[in-house]
Structures are given as structure tokens and as C-alpha cells.
Amino acid sequence: MAHPPETRAAVRAAYIYQRLPLADAAATAGVAEGTARTWLRVSRQEGDDWDACRTAASLSREGQLAVASMVLEQFVLQFQSTLDGLKHSKELGPIERAEILARLSDSYTKMMSAAGKVATPINRLSVAMETIRTLAKWLAAERPDTLEVFAELLDAFGSHLAEALSPTRAGWPPCRA
């Protein structure tokens, strides 16, 4: 039995934005899990990777600041622990302490640089997706008469956006908003 495009979109949205397991996303839309798996596979082959979209959507909701904060918090705890050990050590002389501080400083710089490089493709995609969701909410409140046209344009624009952001060059599959 063929399902309307709205049903496939509902499964995709539940999987990506509600982060439901695929079986649950399928159930909420009233389709078999096998059908949902087929849609997921075909979408990936067509350039719409639901898993990449799910990651980007998660980051856009939680905010890049929250993710960065978690990483930095763990690093700072280790950094502080090392400094405490350094401060209370009776065996280390001034030169050895200076060398350890230099290494800690170097580690901090490298960690921040690596984190920035890894997050760039996800950041770009998550910001774009968040902007589109914000525009859709605004249109729903301020210009509901434009929602049908917006939905039509968004489907075509999603492919263009994925191409424009070029996430595959950074190792991430494309994702339509």
C-alpha cells in the first residue's frame, strides 16, 4: 500500500526531531517498521541522511554552547586536578613545575583547536536548520496564509541548502532541512 508523502514526512520528523527510535516513529504514523526502514535507506541514497539530520537537530536544540560546556567542563576538571597535584607536590622543583604548566597550556590550546574543527560542519547545518524552524514558527504566527507556499519551497530549498553547505566535504552526509 502506497503512503502519502505526508506520512513519510511524519515518520522522518518523529525520528529526527523527537528522537524516537525508528520503530516508534513508524508506529506514531501508522506504518510498518519495515516501511520506515525502506524510507530511511532510500532517503540516504537520495542524499537525505536522516541520522545526520538527527545529529544536527539535536545540536541545534541543545545549543552548541551546551555541548562545548560539557567538553570544557570535563577538561577543566582534569586541568584543575593536575594543578592541585602540582601545587601540593613536594618532589617537583620550579623548572619541572614550569614544564608541566607549559604542557597543560599546550594541551588546552590543542583541545580547543580540535573541538572547533570537529564541530564546524555540524554547526553550520544545525544553525541553518534552527533558522528554518524559527522562520516556520514565525510564519505560522504572523503569516499563516504563506505556510503552504513555504512548505513547497522548503522541500526544493532543502536540497539546495545541503549542496550550498557542502557537509560531505567535511565528512558529513547531506541533510535536508
Write out pLDDT tens, residues 21-63: 999 999 999 999 999 999 999 988 888 889 888 887 776 645 5
Inter-residue contact 59 to 121 (CB < 8 Å): no
For the chain, the domains span: 5-46, 54-170
Residue-level pLDDT at 39: 95
CA separation for the pair 61, 126 (Å, rounded): 8
Output DSSP code: residue 36.
Answer: H
Instruction: Name the percent of the chain lying above pLDDT 70.
Output: 75
* Cell numbers linked to 49: 541522511
Q: What percent of the chain has pLDDT over 90?
A: 21
C-alpha cell at 90: 613536594
* Residue type, position 102, single letter: A
First to last CA, the chain: 27
Cell of 122: 555540524
23: cell is 520503530
Q: Which residue has the cell 499563516?
A: 144
Q: What is the pTM of this model?
A: 0.43
92 pLDDT above the threshold of 60: yes
What does the alpha-carbon distance between residue 50 and residue 152 come to, in Å, rounded to a whole number? 20
Task: List, for residues 101-150, the tens digit of each pLDDT value.
Answer: 899 888 878 876 766 655 565 567 777 878 888 898 899 899 999 988 88
